Structure 1
Amino acid sequence: MRFSYWYSRMMAGRYGSDQLGLGLIVIYLVLVFLARLLGLPILSFLALALLVWGIFRIFSRNTSRRYQENAVFLKYWGRITHWFRTASGRFEGWRGRTLYRMNDKKTHRYFRCPSCKNTLRVPKGKGKIVITCPVCHTEFTKKT
């Protein structure tokens, strides 16, 4: 009971931990692991500096400055996590188009319009044909 009382009194008015602090600890652990694995002492010093910075942030009484630092970190971290969250959607469309084309492989050919770069699907086995783009009305000749 005494330790928790002492700790709560000591931490009163201090910033405490936040997302940036957690990120610093994770980066510290990764750098220590890499320093041990690769045998590079410079990584150990860098990891130690990050750990000291993280501890300084936890015990700091300048809460407004620590809040601003965390807000900047969260802004960039949000962009990174958003990119990873939407990455599956970017690859989903590509995968769906590829599977669709694989099913059509025996019956149709795909060409790109030389003007607007639109993808056009034409039936296979018709010989040399003139293809008209439905978007820009450019005509070009291809062999199916």
Structure 2
Amino acid sequence: MKEKLQKFMAGRYGVDQLGFALLITCLIVGCLDIFIRSFILTGLTVALLILFYYRSLSRNMYKRQQENFKFIRFWTPIQKRLNLYEKQFKERKTHKYFTCSNCKQTLRVPKGKGKVCISCPKCKQDLHKRT
């Protein structure tokens, strides 16, 4: 059975980051559809699943790669911002975060140091903040 599946998938694109995102989105919309019971959500779930299978079984690898590159260019800044928020949330008890008023750089300072003078490493502006 495994050999038949490998033979079938030979020359096909398979699953990439965009395909994985489509599958996760399909699962989330499907779970929402269970509670809300809407024809629109059901149709969207089916459409996402069909698109996932279409992309996975496609033989046009160049076009699928271009679609994936566009998705990665779109998703990377969002993912970086989410990772920053996650890091800030994890360190909320030990550090405090400030934004430089001049260059909008995020600055991290340990908590419990009282009033400190923070020098921005990017623009060298001094900020006086309480930690």
TM-score, length-normalised on structure 1?
A: 0.62
Name the CA distance, whole Å, in 2 between partners of 1:7 and 1:28.
24
Which 4+ runs in 1 deviate beyond 3 A?
94-100, 118-121
Shift in CA distance, 33/119, structure 1 to aligned 2, threshold 3 Å: same
Give the drift of 1:120: 6.3
Give the drift of 1:97: 8.7
The count of corresponding residues between Structure 1 and Structure 2 is 104
The residue number in structure 2 matching 1:28 is 26
Q: Deviations over 1:60-114 (max 9, x none)?
A: 000000011111111111111111122345x8324859865xx56xxxxxxxxxx
Larger Rg: 1
Which residue of the other structure, out of 40, 55, 69, is the alignment partner of 1:71?
A: 69
Identity of aligned residues (%): 30
Structure 2: any 5+ residue segments left out of the alignment?
A: 99-107, 116-125
Shift in CA distance, 119/12, structure 1 to aligned 2, threshold 3 Å: closer
- One-letter code aligned to 2:9: M
Give the drift of 1:41: 1.9
Shift in CA distance, 99/17, structure 1 to aligned 2, threshold 3 Å: same
Larger RCO (CA within 8 A; separation ≥ 6): 2
TM-score, length-normalised on structure 2?
A: 0.67
Which residue of the other structure, out of 55, 73, 78, is the alignment partner of 1:80?
A: 78
The residue number in structure 2 matching 1:7 is 5
Name the CA distance, whole Å, in 2 between partners of 1:73 and 1:29.
19
Choose between structure 1 and 2: higher helix proportion. Answer: 1
